[in-house]
Amino acid sequence: MGIIEPQWKRAVDAAVEAGRPITAAEVCAKLGNVNPKSILRALKSACVNDKGRTHYQGGAEPRRTDAGHPHDRLFRQPDRRYVPYDPKVHGVWEVYSDPASTSSHKTSVRELGKLHPTMTVTLTNGAVKPGNTFFPIKAFDEDFFPPSMIRAKDPDAPAVPARFTTDAGTEFHSDVYRSSPNSGYLHNRAAASGYYLATGARGGDRLRIERMADDHYHITLLPAAVATAASPEQHVSEPKMPMPINKILFGPPGTGKTYHTVNEALYILDPAFLAAHETDRAALKQRFDALVQAGFIRFVTFHQSFSYEDFVEGIRANRDEPSGALSYDVEDGVFKQICEAARSRNIATSGPGIGINGRSIWKVSLGDSGTEGHIFDECMAKGMALLGFGSSVDLTGVSSRAEIVERLQAVDPQIKSSDYTVTALDLFIRRVKVGDLIVVSQGNLKFRAIGEVTGGYVHVDRGDADSYAQGRPVRWLRQYEPARPYTDLMENRFSQMTIYEPRPGTINLDRLASLLAPEQAHEPEPRVLIIDEINRGNISRIFGELITLIEPSKRAGCPEALEVTLPYSKDRFSVPRNVHLIGTMNTADRSLAGLDVALRRRFEFVEMRPDPSALAGVVVNGIPVDALLATMNRRIEMLLGRDYMLGHAYFMNLKDDPSLERLAEIFRRQVLPLLQEYFFEDWQKIAWVLNDHRKSERALCFLQQAAVGIAELLGDKVELPGEGHLWALNNDAFANPKAYLEIIKADQVPA
């Protein structure tokens, strides 16, 4: 019989061999009949960045992960999935002695050289009031700010409360500490006011906690919110929300305007990733696509039929599925959708993060969003989902649809098995399983909460209050205020049915996974709207009254903030500060009038010029492509203007295929047609751009004048303005490298 590997090693081997990010539950399924908790402990013990590894195998002694220890094999991602550890990608981590740690070994985990003597947390809105004993503040990310930084026990003497001082010099002690992520706090009984720390809270004001050399923790309030407010010098260090970005990238076609929007969006949403992968286009595009899937980036192209109803809001005809009922509703456009999503934030106090594999997903309405808002509030407060069907009938113990009908008929004999009341209750009681996810809609176009079903059916005795007596216990993972647009989760709008399981493909699982991933930020995240070809739309018609609101100083929360009443919904509307607009504009499009002056004043314009250096080193049959492009563009700029040059993007394919055939194809199908458009088919000027008038041989000219004269065709008495020459395309020149070389320079005039 072979040697049986220890369970921890088999678990880690399974995770490494998966070849993809894998969860503990998936590892457990691979190994068969094992304890899920022991599998999770095994994976934690092998994760270089998981604090849990300090409690189990291999965490007893301080060490670095580049020391070749057998347990250093996995890396835990933010979504709680495991991947093979690579020090070049994930950095070098260390298990180090930490007297303040609660682990049995008094050790903690950190990336090598990453110390965190200072952290910033956020006070809950409205918490700072005279006479308050507790000041709730927002949670911190424990992966970056170790819990030991705010231990309520003294690091060197765990039985002694830690000492804290305020800016005013007031000292107070913490007398209670709990390690649960949602219950750790500091409390001051000695003073009239104190500081209470709890994860999951919401807030606006900030404070800073610094661990001092004498084991004090110094608290700095930012900005002034109580008598112990920070000094003006301390206000400089306060993190500030960046000003809104309104930017238009403009230039001739082919200069990489749309291409560059990827970098611009990542500069706003993930500047650290952009800095780390600036030269890796594949990685940048992959990160960009992930943000698009998560709903942080929206992309739209303006055209001459694009309207206010598409951009802001308008009345749309919609057919409900599966009932087939036709309704006319005010539906949000792409800009209003992204603004509503940017304004929304999670206010749930539970749910650190959860996977979606193996769970059914249900849409549920908790009361009518217009008239029964108290039902939704009650459900959130009590951790329940309540349905108003079935009056107050107790359906405990029912095991079939027939039993549901039987009990309902005892109260209402008119009930039939085919009624939707029976269908809804059957789904709610019997089909929805523990562990399933429910999405709570607000109307047909928004959703406002996501929860995990944690228990079976519960009958709720409500007296004569209302009929919402059918309940299921739910752990609310996310609660959004205001509600988020359905586009952040669904591919199409919600149905009017109170409860149903959306068809496969209706819910965007990538976006749902993103919504349920461990939250890294507690304030609304920035959003980016990319408007391609912004000058092709009728700006006044599309933006309407919002042309004023997009100005940075007029955004919500700014000193000059403005809001308007929208014409269809009659909602009061303002543009959030965390919505950023990036547009592209083709300056060579002659079919368009000049850009609206109101838009010009509210956007920063960044010129994107042709960049021959992007083609440096690209040589085709001895032809330096960068010099070829630069020379033609100098001639075009002289003849027509800088808005009509050729972009380097037309020639970028030559990097992968530097063949004469590919170069000829580019000239035939892209360069010459574009020059015809630029010069209104003035062939003489096109010949000047191609230097045909100075080439050493007539056979090298791309354009040749026909030998047949005017008199032969029209007679002697016909007079034409100008030369009146006929031009023909010389196909042989496209296959001759010298024809391209002499675009750059030709010493002789052709005979």
The per-residue DSSP string of 266-285 comes to HHHH-HHHHHHTTT-HHHHH
| Comparison of pLDDT for 77 and 425, the residue scoring more | 425
Three-class DSSP category at 540: helix
Per-residue pLDDT, averaged over 202-208, amounts to: 36
Burial of 162 (0-12, 13-18, 19+ CB in 10 A): buried
Strands (E), 302-422: 313-319, 326-332, 345-346, 361-364, 384-387
Identify the residue with better confidence: 374 or 632.
632
What confidence category does residue 179 fall into, taking pLDDT thresholds of 50, 70 and 90? Answer: very low
Which residues fall within 8 angstroms of residue 647, CB to CB, at 6 or more apart?
251, 252, 253, 254, 255, 256, 610
What angle, rounded to 10 degrees, do the helices at 36-46 and 7-17 form?
70
H or E segment to which residue 195 belongs: none
Select the more confidently predicted residue: 195 or 522: 522
DSSP 617: T
Residue range 206-230: average pLDDT?
A: 39
Q: 227, 167 in Cβ contact below 8 A?
A: no
Cβ(626)–Cβ(619) below 8 Å: no
641: left (phi over 0), alpha (psi -120 to 50) or beta: left
Alpha-carbon distance 355 to 435, whole Å?
11
The most distant pair of C-alpha atoms in the chain lies apart, rounded to whole Å, by 114
Which residues, other chains included, contact 406 with Cβ-Cβ below 8 Å and sequence gap of 6+? none
Q: What is the DSSP letter of 582?
A: E
298: nearest Cα among 574, 552, 532: 532
The whole-angstrom separation of Cα 47 and Cα 588 is 55
β-pairing verdict for 564-565 and 437-442: unpaired
DSSP state of 54: G
- By DSSP bridging, strand 313-319 and strand 623-624 are unpaired
**384 beta partners:** 473
Q: Across residues 289-301, what is the average pLDDT? A: 90
| DSSP one-letter code for 408 | H
**Counting Cβ atoms within 10 Å, is residue 709 exposed (0-12), middle (13-18) or buried (19+)?**
exposed
In the three-class reduction of DSSP (H, G, I as helix; E, B as strand; rest coil), residue 538 is classed as: coil
Higher pLDDT, 498 or 212: 498
Spell out a b/e string for 177-196, using b for 16 or more CB atoms within 10 Å of the CB, else e: beeeeeebbbbbeeeebbbb
Q: pLDDT tens for residues 438-488?
A: 999 988 889 999 999 999 999 988 776 678 889 999 999 998 888 888 888
Better-scored residue on pLDDT, 445 or 522: 445
Element (H, E) at 453: strand 446-453
Q: Is the Cβ–Cβ distance between 89 and 49 less than 8 Å?
A: no
Task: Please tell me whether the overall predicted TM-score, pTM, comes out greater than 0.75 for this model.
Answer: no
Where residue 724 falls among pLDDT bands split at 50, 70, 90? low
At 214 the pLDDT is: 44
Please compute, for residue 109, the number of CA atoms within 13 A of its CA located in the half-sphere on the CB side: 26
If 0-12 CB within 10 Å is exposed, 13-18 middle and 19+ buried, where does residue 318 land? middle
Measured at the CA of 135, the angle between CA 132 and CA 137, to 5 degrees, comes to: 165
Of the given ranges (86-100, 274-288, 356-370), which has the lowest mean pLDDT?
86-100
Give the residue among 378, 396, 377 at the shortest CA–CA distance from 456.
Answer: 396
Give the CA radius of gyration of the chain: 33
- Tokens of residue 523, six digits: 């304030």
∠ CA 568-571-577, rounded to 5°: 120
The architecture that CATH gives domain 246-308+526-607 is: 3-Layer(aba) Sandwich (3.40)
Per-residue tokens: 163: 């000492």
Q: Select the more confidently predicted residue: 437 or 493.
A: 437
Look at residue 685 and tell me whether its pLDDT is greater than 80: yes
Q: Report, as an integer, the average pLDDT of 713-729.
A: 69
| Residue 598: closest CA among 652, 655, 543 | 543
What whole-number percentage of the chain has pLDDT above 90?
A: 34
Instruction: Tell me what the mean pLDDT of segment 558-563 comes to.
Output: 85
d(CA 223, CA 207): 8
Query: Region 17-23: what's the mean pLDDT?
Result: 86
Residue 635 has pLDDT above 80, yes or no: yes
Q: What's residue 311's pLDDT? A: 95
> How open is the CA angle 119-184-82, to the nearest 5 degrees?
75
Per-residue confidence at 324, pLDDT binned at 50, 70, 90?
Answer: low
Provide the sign of the torsion angle of the four alpha carbons 164, 166, 172, 176, taken in this order: negative
For the chain, the average pLDDT equals: 76
Which CATH code is given to the segment(s) 345-507?
Answer: 3.10.590
Sign of CA dihedral 443, 444, 448, 454: positive
Q: pLDDT tens digits for 99-156?
A: 545 555 666 777 776 643 333 333 333 333 333 333 333 333 333 333 333 333 333 4
* Residue appearing with tokens 């005017």: 710
CB of 433 within 8 A of CB of 453?
yes
Nearest of 355, 351, 352 to residue 24 by alpha carbon: 355
Task: Give the chain's length.
Answer: 751
Distance between first and last Cα of the chain: 93
pLDDT confidence of residue 236: 29
* Other CB atoms within 10 A of residue 510 CB: 15
Q: What is the DSSP letter of 181?
A: T
Q: What is the pLDDT of residue 45?
A: 80
Token digits for 122? Answer: 């956020």
Enumerate residues 6+ apart whose C-beta is below 8 A from 680: none
pLDDT in tens, 256-291: 999 999 999 999 998 888 888 988 999 999 999 989
Pair 302, 534: CB distance under 8 Å = yes
pLDDT at res. 675: 94
